[in-house]
Amino acid sequence: MQTDAETARFKRTEAMGEDKITKLLIRFSGPAILAAETSAFYNLFDAIWCGRLSTEAVAALTVANPLMAIYRAIGAGIGVGTTSLIARHLGAGRREETDKTAGCSISFFFLLSNLVAIICLINLKTLLQIFGADSSVLPYAESYMFIETVFLPLDFFLVLLVELIRVGGNPSFASTGMIIASLMDLVFSPILVFGIWLFPALGIAGAALGTTVGRGVGVSILLAYIILGKSIYRFKPSYFRLNFRTIYEIYRVGISQTVRASAASLSQAIANNIAASFGVAALAVLGVLFKVNMVVFSFCMGVGQGMLPLVGYNFGAKKKERVGEAVLKAGLISFSWGALCWIIVMLFPNEIIALFGTDPKFLVEGVGAIRIFAFSFFAMGLQSNLSFFFQGIGRGIPSLIIASSRQLIFLIPCLLIAPGLFGLTGLWMSYPIADALAITLSLAWTISTFHSLKIPLKLRSSINYQTSSEADS
């Protein structure tokens, strides 16, 4: 028999099928956006701190980006796949399957994260050279990525805990753990980079170590929440056994997230090598564009992460009007955010680039680059949301193709062609061109899917909403 506390916890998940979509998007996406943006800003500030060391240090972060993208890709695959599967179980009322999925995902995480860390540590120098590090940049990149790789399982576990708690109906607390982790990074990174108080100056390695400290604090908070029984999950030892059917279901959907981020790693490696052929300043500018892009994209990722459990729950509960409303409203939010960020970049390009260094060549090239690059802001968030829609309804193949289309199908050919025709300007042009092509494909596929599944595309569904208080009466 359920206790009153258990009933209250599951009541939070049932609200996904009853409350107004706008209210739910704010509730689920708001904390996710705040957490994602806090994470993006600590990455941004890491680049600013390293810019005070040297242009080579900023270039080292650029070289580290593709390898970090691979790490995030693998971890995100588990997180997103687990979220989609659990949301559908909750929508269909399968509560024991929810607990088994959560337990299996934790065991799978431990196995995979340690395996990836060992493989990458053995090949770290070679990987960084492949991703564009020359002799002047490699020492900085190795120093940074050694620490990131050793503590990779901690990063994976933080991502998984956030997703488990978010889909369990408490997005605010899930995001609180991520926000605190990022704030700890913002505090400790400059202390460890430059040496303040009793702490030694560790240079670029200090930025990685500050991140690790923050993640450790975040994991401690979220893990305590689950261990103390505050979440919806109730575990038995048998639930932690690896179930290959569950792993298949997780990665059937999550693989699209892994491929998208892995494709980003491949395209970044190609872009790094092209930029490096124009000099360290160009490589540093590319890294700054990635950091700025992360701030823009993180907001849209937060919107998508908030939308995903709503889509999964309502699709599992066969409430298709609510699915369509959630996708449309999330898309409009992401597009509006992209337009706002484009305006800011057009108005203040010099001020933005000057945050990361004072080298004259870096400043001149950076201002021109960011003005071109910013046109990609209009489409990237909306395209990401559409991929989350397919993940939410459990359509792995369409999600995989849409998620990877920008990086693999469109961006890589642009990177291989445009710089040869237009020089370094062609490198910056490749990104908005690829985004325009990717969003065209994504919209066409989504509209077709809505039509085949008979999902209405309305800003307001006609279903009568039921508030929690009404449901209790």
Q: Is residue 369 part of a domain?
A: yes
Tokens of 402: 């849409």
Count Cβ atoms within 10 A of the Cβ of residue 197 and give its class: 0-12 exposed, 13-18 middle, 19 or more buried: exposed
pLDDT for 64-84, tens place per residue?
Answer: 888 887 887 777 777 778 877
pLDDT for 121-160, tens place per residue?
Answer: 999 999 898 888 888 888 888 988 999 899 988 888 888 8
CA separation for the pair 47, 52 (Å, rounded) = 9
CA separation for the pair 237, 235 (Å, rounded) = 7
Q: Give the contacts of 337 (CB within 8 A, at least 6 positions apart).
A: 296, 299, 300, 303, 381
Q: Is residue 472 part of a domain?
A: no
CA separation for the pair 390, 402 (Å, rounded) = 9
Grade residue 12 by pLDDT with cuts at 50, 70 and 90. Answer: low
Q: Is residue 130 part of a domain?
A: yes
Q: Is residue 314 part of a domain?
A: yes
Owning domain of residue 218: 11-462
Q: Is residue 193 part of a domain?
A: yes
Q: Is residue 278 part of a domain?
A: yes
Tokens of 422: 């237009």
Q: Which residue has the tokens 């040496």?
A: 195
Residue 465: its pLDDT value, please?
46
Residue 24: its pLDDT value, please?
84
Grade residue 471 by pLDDT with cuts at 50, 70 and 90. Answer: very low
Average pLDDT over residues 224-253: 82
Q: Is residue 1 part of a domain?
A: no
Higher pLDDT, 293 or 50: 293
pLDDT for 173-211, tens place per residue?
Answer: 887 888 888 888 888 888 888 888 778 888 888 888 888
Q: Is residue 6 part of a domain?
A: no
Whether 276 shows a pLDDT value over 90: the answer reads no
Q: Rounded to the nearest 5°, which phi and psi values hold at 133?
A: -80, 125
Four-residue CA torsion sign, 378, 384, 390, 396:
positive
Domain count of the fold of the chain:
1
Closest to 434 (Cα-Cα) out of 378, 388, 389? 378
Tokens of 445: 């596929």
